[in-house]
Amino acid sequence: MARVLPLDLLDLDDSLTDEERQIRAVVRQVVDDRVRPHVAGWYERGQAPVRELALEFGRLGLLGMHLSGYGCAGASAVAYGLACLELEAGDSGVRSLVSVQGSLAMYAIWRYGSEEQKQRWLPSMAAGEAIGCFGLTEPDHGSDPASMTTRARRDGTDWVLSGTKMWITNAPVADVAVVWARTEAGIQGFVVPMGSPGVAAREIRQKLSLRASATGELVLDEVRLPAEAALPEGTGLRAPLSCLTEARFGIVWGALGAARECLHVALDYAVGREQFGRPIAGFQLTQAKLADMAVELQKGYLLALHLGRLADAGRLRPEQVSVGKLNNVREALAIARQCRTILGANGVSGEYPVLRHANNLESVLTYEGTAEIHQLVIGQRLTGLSAFA
């Protein structure tokens, strides 16, 4: 009997427009050409050609692709989601580059910045000529950013920033950072050129996950900025949280890409690998694993598509994104681990992408709100009670 790919089981492609399918094909191609042949080496060395990739993705309109104006593509949320899925089928670190650039750094400037800030940064960021990062997490404040200790004080009309941000994607290669700091009036966002005196980015080297992504510590030592560096509308914790909602939406889709890749590899492996005189794909226990994974992948895709259509209708709420992030990352990680078992010893080899994806998904489970934090968000919505503190 002819084989069907897991994501073709329910004919879900029928739910996409021609334009969405075309965008997906373009991104799939660039991943095939520019990522897939090299990513195992990047992962092993813990270094990816981030600048080259950014320029390539910028040329294709993938950076800030769901934003409009300022050189951004103005694509639909579903098209953006499909792009994230294809990028993460290559590697979660590659998708992280695009997410942090477009959904965190660019979105913050696009949504909360002055016209001058937008003109200064968005066109070059959309083109991949300038790389952005987003500094919210601190060494002692991750899930609870409201307790951040990075300070911004007034000195005349200037601002002076001091503090340390931790685990900041793209920081070691960035040209600009969107930094969140506490002022006397509350939390405030700033656009910080990385060349400003007092800014230092140190790469975090001992990462066993997301190794094809540059992650750093961002140290701000009495960084003096003009008044115009503040994001005029970027005040209060709701501002960075809204950026996280944007980025989480991409993760809802992206995680499915990692899972799809693992499942494709495991399927091919199971059909080709013989034990006890027959393909391991023919054993019922293997088929149970494969069927369950295909079902979860389809369910995750339906969920992503539903959230995407809500986003395109302007009706997507943050707790709905939490449902998607919680489910799709958790299931993608479970799929990646299960696929690893099907590959046996080869599953731990870098010659196959499966353990790389599983290791990456450990970071994806934690960043942009841990699984537990999303459970609490959903729990709060269900009960009306906050269990955060």
- Contacting residues toward ligand FAD, per CB under 6 A: 100, 134-137, 142-143, 167-169, 210, 215, 363, 366-368, 370, 372-373, 376, 388
Smallest distance from ligand FAD to CB 115, Å: 26
CB of 158 or CB of 372, closer to ligand FAD:
372
Write the single-letter amino acid at 119: Q
Smallest distance from ligand FAD to CB 376, Å: 6
CB of 169 or CB of 322, closer to ligand FAD:
169
Q: State how far the Cα of 13 lies from the Cα of 21, in Å rounded to an integer.
A: 8
CB of 128 or CB of 369, closer to ligand FAD:
369
Smallest distance from ligand FAD to CB 290, Å: 30
Smallest distance from ligand FAD to CB 259, Å: 18
CB of 107 or CB of 367, closer to ligand FAD:
367
- Residue 263 corresponds to which tokens in the numbers above? 């499942």
Q: How far apart are the first and last CA of the chain?
A: 55
3-state secondary structure 155-220: ECCEEEEEEEEEEEECHHHCCEEEEEEEECCEEEEEEEECCCCCEEEEECCCCCCCCCCCEEEEEE
Ranked by CB distance to ligand FAD, the top (closest) residue is 142
Which residues are designated catalytic?
A: 368
Smallest distance from ligand FAD to CB 23, Å: 25
CB 35 within 8 A of CB 89: no
Measured in residues, the chain has a length of 389
CB of 44 or CB of 372, closer to ligand FAD:
372
Q: 93, 81, 33: which is closest to 356 by C-alpha?
A: 93
CA–CA distances in Å: residue 356 to residues 47, 339, 348: 14, 12, 9
Q: 294, 292, 326: which is closest to 307 by C-alpha?
A: 326
Place of tokens 């006890």: 276
